[in-house]
Structure 1
Amino acid sequence: MTINRENGAEEKKRFLTPEDFQILVDSLRPENLIYQDTDGVKRIKEALTEWVPQEETNIYGIELWQKGSAENIGQNFMVYDKRTRTLMFEGAYYQVDLDDIVA
């Protein structure tokens, strides 16, 4: 996961714990799906089409790699907007609280 800090410090990367990974998996439930174009959906779509400004500290990129893989094998990518608690995964949007992971 990549984190930009408010003070303009360099981005920080960290590994997800197995517990964090389980929270991500559990959040991908049908009842959490967003079917309308909310502010969070709009913010994530914008972040995917333009560079995210360094001062934006509420948009997170989450890369999931297959354990032991040095290549792009088994890679998944998620985007999380902490401000609106919106997660994008494989083109679907979910209303979830991942604050414990991205804190």
Structure 2
Amino acid sequence: MEKQKNPNKEKEKKKKKEKKKEKKEKEKENKGRKKKGNKGRKKKGNKRRKKKEKKKENKKRREKKMDVKKKKKNEKNGNEKNKLGLSENCKQKNGVYVHPNTP
């Protein structure tokens, strides 16, 4: 004789499957809302690295600015010296350009 399948067992299996599906759906819904525990100190290495890079860039920019200012100043002084017919070695003393070799 063949064993007959118990219809109640099949119904129970279906119920269990449905419960599992519902549970999974609920978990999916709650996933975004789940509270996360304290994970300790966050590492900020990347942030620090970016800050350093930014500082370096700013420093370069500042140096470029200063170089441009110095060049302009040198050009201006050079032009004045050329107008007076003096060499590049001349320096200003008390508002007058003097050659370094003169006493």
TM over 0.5: no
Larger radius of gyration: 2
Q: Report the structure, 1 or 2, having the larger strand content.
A: 1
Q: Report the structure, 1 or 2, having the larger helix content.
A: 2
TM-score (normalised: structure 2): 0.18
Greater relative contact order, per chain length (Cα 8 Å cut-off, separation 6+): 1
